[in-house]
Structure 1
Amino acid sequence: MTQKTKLSLKLLLPSIPDGGDSCVKRLADLLRAKEGIDMAHLVSGGRSDSTALCIHYAPERLTLAAVRELAQRAGMTLEARYGHLMTWTDAMPAARARTLEARLLETPGILEVAVSPTGTIRAEYDREQTTEAVVQAALARMGADHKESGDKSETRARGAADAGGISEHEHEHSHEGPFGEWTELLFAGVAGALLLIGWLLSLTGLNSWISWACYVASYLFGGYFTLQETWENLRARRFEIDSLMLLAAVGAATLGEWMEGALLLFLFSLGHSLEHYAMGRAKRAIESLADLAPQTAIVIRDGRPQEVPIGELQRGEVVLIKPNERIPADGFVIKGESSVDQAPITGESIPVDKRPVPDAKQAAQDPDRLDAVHRVFAGTINQSGALEVQVTRLSTESTLSRVVRMVNEAETQKSPTQLFTDRFERIFVPSILVFVGLLLLAWVVVDEPFSRSFYRAMAVLVAASPCALAISTPSAVLSGVARAARGGVLVKGGGPLESLGTLGAIAFDKTGTLTEGKPRLTDVVPFEATEEDLLRCAVAVESLSDHPLAAAVVRGGRERLGNPDVAGAVDLKSITGRGVQARVGGELVYIGKDDLYREIEGPPVPDELQRQVERLEGDGRTTMIVRKASRYLGVLGLMDTPRKAAQATIAALRELGIGRMIMLSGDNSQVANAVAREVGLDEAIGDLMPDDKVESIRRLSQEHGVAMVGDGVNDAPALANATVGIAMGAAGSDVALDTADVALMADDLSQLPFAVGLSRKTRGIIRQNLWFSLGMVAFLIPATLLGLNMGAAVLFHEGSTILVVFNALRLLAYGTPAPPEVKL
């Protein structure tokens, strides 16, 4: 018989960025190759354990200790061999990002590279072939100077050297130059001014050499960065758009058309610099998240407050937050009451009240389980009252730090459309070069001079360059990811962002998603015991469990009993999807659904008690039967109320075009149907085990794209099998951040329509950009063949590039109310 064990992924592979890293697959493959291990796969490890590796093994061949030793040894082997580097440089055009990727992949030992136009660089390398210092030196030589990361709190905490800084003398050149991020735009401006002066001089009839000198100077300024990129492309054995433009400009100069060549380079450099600016704006929108964290904190040490850098804060220390100050670290309140503006992290529009925990020592044992009224997050803003907060996470581990890091990682994940356009360009650009080569021979077939054929070929070369196509998708995706993050929604890359907008169905978990997740004990029906005996036994067992229903039984039972001391239970065991068992006073106690008692030994549920269960379930209650030894003590009824925002959220999703919405619940069908009717869902499926939820998601996925919305913990398998997994309340759960494709940072269902609407808007803008950019190429190629001159082709070409970039930037304002009209 196969047995399973779960080991925290962070313990096995501490340096990997997330569960999607290649080393996770390598680890699973290594373990599957070991004798006695049948399977290894990624799962949720529980609320405090984050993502875990589930290992299926044969107990007759391997002990649990041996399995753990094998996994740890395999993890250590991979950690020793494979390195991961995340670094940041300046924003850049999309073509430059692709060239940088190609050149880095040529460096021996680098296995995988992803470069975002916003400047985020992610690389994986083999330590047997190279080192991190060599990778960083390669980046420096290519002009990708290390800049302070978007996660500034982490960078400050580690220090510049440890953050991977590169000294200025190590790189061959920098794309920024002496005037910083404005250098490229300034060069374009100078090129344009020289072009204008040269043209005006040519109209006056003065010495043509002066006009020609202005055009040549315009070439130098307009082509400076283009020449750099062309050289980088050639070194990477790539023929990118920059190369096409430079070739066309050289061709124009060869024909003596210096003005048109200068115009080409001026407009191309202007378009590049504006694209650079746009990517920089998207980058700054993301970096603004990191600016939320204060650089220092007031910590109470030796009974006295003192100001220290947040990187020096340790777990368990107490920080003082005055009114209107930003909270420096994740933790829980131990003194003071106030409201906290959590909008920067969760997107909540209304400040959340905070109050101290009853017992700080107990709270510190498992802070992730604390109620939201006690927990605070770095980067949020304290309102009116002073608070003392006990730190639970280091600055590099805070929710804010993790979100910024994940957003930066998301920037490097290409969407399906972006992958398609990259493949299209790899075919299209060589095809255009072949076509242009044939056009150069037109004078052989048509009675015209070679210069005319050459000019037409150069004009087609300009017209066919897919600049707008190259930037149309990444600019929209990056703007969408940045806008989502500012709204309290973490989208892990272009794939989920696009997929979310294509969904035909959404499946919801019930408890904690559509309902408050805080059930209360409403009915106590004793059977073969008194009400007091029933409650004492139930409270003793459920006090050992961390399930929300167990907490409700304990809380409600103690209130009814007047908070007495109850006998302790031992040996708690969970029976997945059915209930729990433990020992109280030496006797075995079971608590669970009626299905449980059909599967275990002992007397069946008496008919009279079964009728009581059916009556409670008919009223929408969740029922729990309690049996001690062979005696049925009675049944408990609990009820969870729907969230206030649930009905409005479902209605808003219907307006956005979601055609089918269902509930998947482990509760009985009657309870599930009652909640579904109240909030307006199409249907509900109850009595589901975790595996049943996965199967339901797979069936729905075959019909149309489906999202699964849950808390990211108990629903992790279903989230993983959905087209898009959406976790709620991610600010309070490491597992939700790790396992979901989309994480709603607040425990607020009303964020879901914003996320779906933003995704649909993003897809709409991507389609607009693609059609416009392809349509412009389709128009310009025949137009230039029929006589449109190069100058006009350049104007149309670069104008389309600028338009698609600024069309994408509109996403940064999605959902932002328009400013009031001012009447003059």
Structure 2
Amino acid sequence: METVQSQSKNSSTDHHDHGGIFGEKTELYFAIISGFFFFLGLILSKLTPLPEWTSHSCYIAAYFFGGYYTLLEAIVKTRKGEFEIDFLMIAAAIGAAYIDSWAEGALLLFLFSLGHALEHHALNKATKSIEALGELSPKTALVRKGSTTEVVAVEDLKIDDIIIVKPNSQISADGVVIKGSSSVDQSSITGESIPIDKTAIAPNTKLPKFEEIDSSNVVYTGTLNGDNIIEVKVLKLSKDTTISRLVKMVSEVETKKSPTQLQTKKFEKWFVPAVIIMVVALSFAHLVIEETVRESLYRAISVLVASSPCALAISTPSAVLSAIARAAKKGVLIKGGRALEDLGSLRVIAFDKTGTLTEGKPRLTNIIPINGFDKNEFLEMVLDVESLSNHPLARAISKDINSEYGIENKHRSSDIQAIQGKGIRARYNGGNVFIGNVEMMKDAKITVGSEIHQQMDELLQYGNTVMLVGYNETLIGLISVMDVPRKLASQTLARLKKIGIKQMIMLTGDHQRVGDSIAKQIGLTDAKGNLLPEDKVKAIEELQKNNTKVAMVGDGVNDAPAMAISTVGIAMGAAGSDVALETADVALMSDKIQSLPFVIGLSRESRRIIKQNLWISMGVVALLVPATIFGFANIGVAVAIHEGSTLVVVLNALRLLRYDLKE
């Protein structure tokens, strides 16, 4: 029942933050204890000759544990003048006890409290996601003060402070590099798969606005410096950094109510008061028709119980729990009923590139010796030189040459020198080897012909990063690396298209040409490149126009705001950052993108079963309320129909445990 979900989400803040004797899970444990006492009471009354007070004691205990949090919420809401489902459940349970139907009242409270507790169990996402974002930023910075240095808290940094960033450490502020050069892994902010070379801005340069400074000179808070020491001039205060903006974005969208919550609020506003008015009126029926006061009360309480049947309380939670359990067996974590429901209505999915559609690490894609150079000798030379470098691209090239071609490193290289923004040079077998870009070849007086330029352009069009290899004064070949698509990416996208996903778009911090190339290879409908986190949010908002439901699939911190604002945020688990997992509604725990079609199919099936369950349970209400009003059904018949309908909806929901996507 959506009402239960809405109520739990809206009211959780009223009491849930206080915890309890079992900590955050107290409410869930209370529901389980309530169930234990209910079943114990049932066994004692039906299967043992023990006196009646023993089973009554168990039912009273079930009432206490099952009704505790429900009563707290009912009190809080009633004080505000809001009569909601909690109030109705408490009233129904009291009514059941009054007419000596303790077992039915205990069952009502047990089932309702269990559904409630399981909904609450998935909460606190907003605070966790914000905490995880905040933890990305370093807590201190090393600031240059004249000829000395001092460690200061990042909150105390001022504009124009000079911070020193040591090798392999996090950068403490958004700013511009003024001394040194290094490669910086900024995947946590932009999603770029390959570390970016950063160089110092020219001395005495008049700085434009932060957004207009060349990206090769700018660094961000929380990104990871490479192997060299750099000095950075602080251009943004701690509260204005990119990371802080991400925190603000996530916290803003987390507080917005879903359309489902708003719809269920409307339902509650008329349903609960209508039932209360009807029950109060029926309590005084003896003033109008010829019957005793007790008979009027009996009828009124019967109607109250008929208006709050177990089937209605359990119809949605049972389906949601079955679907979530089925998803968990397949390595997919779904955080609650709303996410499960929304998945099934998706027609548009936006994907991050790095680590989501691609493997998230550069792979050696092309080896092209030229000028008659032997391929094995060429590979040996490249491996020998690159294995001396710590650059991530060099490590990827060395690893792939060794694993895929079985070439062993013979350690013939020496005197390696990294030339920032151009490449590396080294001595090899008495000669000079150069591996880098066209600029490096020019410096080494190596001619790069028009045919090679054409070949490089072709590789660049397909998203490759290309490096030329020269030996002494001759160009001997080229190699390329790229972040390659996941093996099952194209197959997964084809399957998504088959099950009705109309639009699949890539949102990436990488260059547009890289995005276009990957999109073409795997069958996406569109790709947007060069995006920062706020650009991804704008792209999602654009897709959401005309009330379109959009999922965002990602694995990095840079995806968190877009995932938070999307209808459903889906995180790639194993490779995912903590914040992406916290912000996401769905996490593919085994990092398998091929789980997406399954989970969307599961959601659609669960939506269908929830609808069936609601029709069954509401049908029972529609049947029983008039039947009890006109005396066609007494409390015993009402309870029998309740239990029968509860069994039907639970069995219907359990079908989800066997769900599998048809080919």
Asked if TM exceeds 0.5, the reply is yes
8 Å contact kept, 1:765–1:807: yes
- Aligned partners of 2:499, 2:275: CA distance in 1, in Å? 41
Q: Give the aligned residue type for 1:652.
A: R
After TM superposition, the structure 1 = structure 2 runs for residues 661-810 of structure 1, keeping only pairs within 5 Å, are 661-665=504-508, 672=515, 675-679=518-522, 681-685=523-527, 687-691=529-533, 693-702=536-545, 704-712=548-556, 715-716=559-560, 718-730=562-574, 734=578, 737-738=581-582, 740-791=584-635, 792-810=637-655
Task: Say if 2:334 is the partner of 1:486.
Answer: no
8 Å contact kept, 1:769–1:804: yes
Equivalence for 1:437? 280
Map Cα deviations across residues 764-799 of structure 1 (whole Å, 9 max, x no partner): 333333333233223322232233222322222343
Shift of 1:570: 5.8
Equivalence for 1:565? 413
Stretches of structure 1 that go unaligned for 5 or more consecutive residues are 1-93, 106-110, 115-122, 126-134, 148-173, 198-212, 252-260, 284-413, 573-579, 595-604, 818-824
8 Å contact kept, 2:37–2:59: no
Q: Which has the higher contact order (CA 8 A, sep 6+)?
A: 2
Q: Alignment partner of 1:519: what SS?
A: strand
Q: Give the aligned residue type for 1:786.
A: F
RMSD after superposition? 5.6
Equivalence for 1:622? 464
Q: Give the aligned residue type for 1:801.
A: T
After TM superposition, the structure 1 = structure 2 runs for residues 510-521 of structure 1, keeping only pairs within 5 Å, are 510-517=353-360, 519-521=363-365
Q: 1:190 to 1:728 in 2, by over 3 A?
A: same
Map Cα deviations across residues 318-365 of structure 1 (whole Å, 9 max, x no partner): xxxxxxxxxxxxxxxxxxxxxxxxxxxxxxxxxxxxxxxxxxxxxxxx
Report the TM-score, using the length of structure 1 for normalisation: 0.47
8 Å contact kept, 1:483–1:813: yes
Q: 1:460 aligns with which of 303, 314, 333?
A: 303
Q: Give the aligned residue type for 2:337.
A: G
- Aligned partners of 1:593, 1:192: CA distance in 2, in Å? 87
Task: Say if 2:111 is the partner of 1:266.
Answer: no
Q: Alignment partner of 2:413: what SS?
A: coil
8 Å contact kept, 2:108–2:310: no
- Aligned partners of 2:505, 2:319: CA distance in 1, in Å? 31
Question: Comparing 225-234 with 745-754, which one deviates more in the overlay?
Answer: 225-234
Q: Give the aligned residue type for 1:764.
A: R
Q: 1:416 to 1:554 in 2, by over 3 A?
A: farther
Equivalence for 1:811? 656
8 Å contact kept, 2:350–2:507: yes
Equivalence for 2:95? 248
Shift of 1:460: 1.4
8 Å contact kept, 2:108–2:309: no
8 Å contact kept, 1:725–1:740: yes
Q: 1:553 to 1:146 in 2, by over 3 A?
A: same
Equivalence for 2:496? 653
8 Å contact kept, 2:6–2:265: no
After TM superposition, the structure 1 = structure 2 runs for residues 537-548 of structure 1, keeping only pairs within 5 Å, are 543-546=389-392
Q: Alignment partner of 1:730: what SS?
A: coil
Shift of 1:435: 1.8
- Aligned partners of 1:649, 1:268: CA distance in 2, in Å? 48
8 Å contact kept, 2:112–2:313: no
Stretches of structure 2 that go unaligned for 5 or more consecutive residues are 79-85, 121-256, 427-433, 440-447
Report the TM-score, using the length of structure 2 for normalisation: 0.57
- Aligned partners of 1:664, 1:181: CA distance in 2, in Å? 48
8 Å contact kept, 1:665–1:688: yes
Shift of 1:685: 1.9
Count matched residues.
486
Q: Give the aligned residue type for 1:184.
A: F
Q: Give the aligned residue type for 1:188.
A: L
Equivalence for 2:346? 503
Q: Give the aligned residue type for 2:329.
A: R
- Aligned partners of 1:807, 1:673: CA distance in 2, in Å? 45
- Aligned partners of 2:530, 2:308: CA distance in 1, in Å? 55
Map Cα deviations across residues 374-418 of structure 1 (whole Å, 9 max, x no partner): xxxxxxxxxxxxxxxxxxxxxxxxxxxxxxxxxxxxxxxx99757
Map Cα deviations across residues 528-562 of structure 1 (whole Å, 9 max, x no partner): xx9989x879976994444xx66444546787997
Q: Give the aligned residue type for 2:62.
A: F
Shift of 1:266: 3.3
Question: Comparing 745-754 with 633-642, which one deviates more in the overlay?
Answer: 633-642
Map Cα deviations across residues 119-145 of structure 1 (whole Å, 9 max, x no partner): xxxx4x6xxxxxxxxx655x69x9959
Q: Alignment partner of 2:275: what SS?
A: helix
Q: 1:269 to 1:507 in 2, by over 3 A?
A: same
Q: 1:732 to 1:571 in 2, by over 3 A?
A: farther
After TM superposition, the structure 1 = structure 2 runs for residues 16-55 of structure 1, keeping only pairs within 5 Å, are none
Shift of 1:675: 4.7
Shift of 1:730: 1.5
Q: Alignment partner of 2:571: what SS?
A: strand
